[in-house]
Each structure stands twice: as C-alpha cells, then as structure tokens.
Amino acid sequence: MPRTARPTIALTVGLAAVLLAGCTDNAGTDQQGSAAAGATPARAQAGGNPSPTAAPPPTGPYVALGDSYTAGMKLPPQVGEPGACYRSGANYPSLVAKELSLAAGQFKDVSCSGARTGDLTGPQKVADGTNPAQLDALTADTRLVTLGIGGNDAGFMEVVTECAKANLVDIVKGVITDSADRISESPCRDHYAAGSGTDDVQRKVEAAGDRIGQVLQDVKKRSPKARVYVIGYPGLLPADPANCLPVLGNAVAASDLGFLVEKQQQLNGMLKKRAEAAGAVFVDLAGPSAGHDMCAGEDKRWVEPPLPAQGLVPIHPNAKGQEAVSGVVLKAIRG
C-alpha cells in the first residue's frame, strides 16, 4: 500500500463531504486572459477613432442581480430578507454603490445565494422564505444593472463535488489493488465525457446561455435606459494544476483539475458571448483574479478552498475577493 494513500483518501473524503454538506449553490470560474480593465465592451471598435463624446458613466438607480458570488454568501454583515439569501452588506454591489455615493433609495441588491436564471423571472424559495423574482426590482428609471449568474444553471458546484467523488473512488481502487498508480488518469473527465464529443457540463453551459440571452432581453425591456454589466466569475483554480498540490495534495488528479479549468473557461466564455450579443458589457474577472485562486495563500486568495478559513464558505469569494471584484467592476463602469 502506498504511504500516501490514507492521507490522500482523508483529504478527498473531506473535500467531497464539505462540498456536499456546505454548498447548495454553484459557481464557475475561468482562467483565460483578459484586458487589464477586466471589461469587454458590447461593440468593440474595429479600427477608427474613438468617439469624442463618450457617454458619462452610469450612476443610479442601481439594481444588482445574481447568485451567491454576487450576494457575498455569509460574509458579515448579513443584510436584507430573506436571511437565507445570505446577502452581505460588504459584497461587491454594496461596495460599488458606496463608491458611487448612491443614496439608499438609489441602490437595490436582490441577489440571492443558490439563484438560477429562473429565479430572475420567478420567486426563489429559500430556507426561511421567498426571494421575489429579481427582475421585478427593475424599473424604467433604472440606470445601472449588474448581473452575476449562470454557475448554478451549469451545475458547476455539482461538477466539483463529482470530481472529488470520482477521484476518491479511483484512489480506493488503487489502494485495493495495492498500486501507487491511479486507475484512471482523469476519472472526472471520463465520467462527464463518456466518450462523446460534447460532455454534459458543456451542454448545460450552452443551455444556460440560451436562458441568459432571454434574461438580458427582458432586462432591456424593463429598463431600456440602463447600462448593463454581466459579471464573470473569478478564478477558482490556477492555470497550472501543480500549484494546487500544497492545498489539495493528490486528492484530485492534475488532469481533472485541468478539466475543471476548461469548464470554467467555457462558462465565462458563454457569459461574454451573451453579454456582447445583448449590447451589454462583459466584466471579466478571470484575468484580474489570476494568482488569487483558492490554491493561493491565505493572504492572496479571493476564493476560499474546500477547507476554508473559519466562518467562511468553501469555494466562494471571501471579503478580500468581494473588495477586489468591486474595483474591477468600478473600473469597467467608469470606462
């Protein structure tokens, strides 16, 4: 039996247990490069001179829409109702509103942990009540909208959990056969691809894209004068899986970490494509968050690892991450 078998199994079991017990909402990320500003305009100019009369940056009224990565799940102070939306008064929308000097009546955050695109147009039931349809917060007077959603539709947290489980099974098989070699080089990728050209995760991402495209059209109808920003997801994993060894050890095969990175890229790529098609601005967080993934040191990371710092949520942004995201969003808003 390999000397590292039992510690690796323990870490993998812990990873799967934490994900299954602690996170019911999902989020995805991306490691692809981006412009320094983190924003992609809806219509990139193909040559020519920039407009001499650029529109002034939007202010309020501002409405924030989204899931737990927007809400700031369990980050203090927790504000608003229902409480199980786990909406933070220090999330990036709140920090953006503060920086823009918006009065209380000029800012409305209706984001909610666990939200999917269907919860934008219909009520979302949570543990202690119901969050109204998020798009109902929009009015004809709304001038600024941020939308951060799509990870739950793509089932990304379930993918992370399944990868942990698949790798655990693979490790146990290796222990039983008294072999130090992994039974499969990429058990999670094998699980989702199953020999097909397009895996299940990619199909979910594409389906989520169709729904987000419809949502963005609805936003435009409800708030025709608003400038809309689609917020991508910050980096969850480093581009080089070897950088995760100090945090994850061998609990997840390097090739499966690479598979998760690919899926994150597809998710953020879909959000960018849908934002541009709808005339919105895509705010990329993958580039700015490089080096701040969950495998970075505690003083650098924007996203917590599977075993997070006390009181924080695994695989979710910490306070440092929310503050950093607010800076990227503000830079995009101000052009």
Q: Convert the pLDDT of each residue in 245-256 to its tens digit.
A: 888 877 777 888
Vertex 303, ends 296 and 208: CA angle to 5°?
Answer: 130
A 10 A CB-CB count for 335 gives: 12
Catalytic residue, candidates 68, 113, 223, 326 = 68
Nearest to 157 by CA among 254, 246, 247, 236: 236
pLDDT (tens place) for every residue of the chain, 335 residues total: 334 444 444 444 445 444 444 444 444 433 333 333 466 554 444 444 555 566 788 889 999 999 999 999 999 999 999 999 999 999 999 999 999 999 989 999 999 999 999 999 999 999 999 999 999 999 999 999 999 999 999 887 777 777 766 665 444 444 334 444 444 577 777 877 765 556 788 888 999 999 999 999 999 999 999 999 999 999 999 988 888 888 887 777 788 888 888 889 999 999 999 999 999 999 999 999 999 999 999 999 999 988 899 999 999 999 999 999 999 999 999 98
C-alpha 322/C-alpha 51 separation (Å) is: 32
pLDDT (0 to 100) of residue 268: 97
Smallest Cα–Cα separation from 201: which of 265, 275, 148, 254?
265
pTM confidence score: 0.81
Question: Is 111 one of the annotated active-site residues of the chain?
Answer: no
The CATH number of 27-45+56-153+211-334 is which of 3.40.50.1110, 3.30.70.990, 3.90.1150.10, 3.40.50.1220?
Answer: 3.40.50.1110
Give per-residue burial for 24-60: e unless 16+ CB within 10 Å, then b: ebbbbbbbbebeebbbbbeeeeeeeeeeeeeeeebeb
One-letter identity of residue 327: G
pLDDT of residue 197: 53
Task: Tell me 51's DSSP state.
Answer: P
* Alpha helices in 29-155, H assignment, sequence order: 68-71, 92-99, 118-121
Q: Are 325 and 317 in contact (CB under 8 A)?
A: yes
Other C-beta atoms closer than 10 Å to the C-beta of 181 total: 9
33-69 tens-digit pLDDT = 333 346 655 444 444 455 556 678 888 999 999 999 9
Q: So what's the pLDDT on residue 215?
A: 97
* Average pLDDT of the chain to the nearest whole number: 82
Question: Of the listed 34, 113, 292, 316, which one is catalytic?
Answer: 316
Q: Would residue 184 show up in a list of annotated catalytic residues for this protein?
A: no
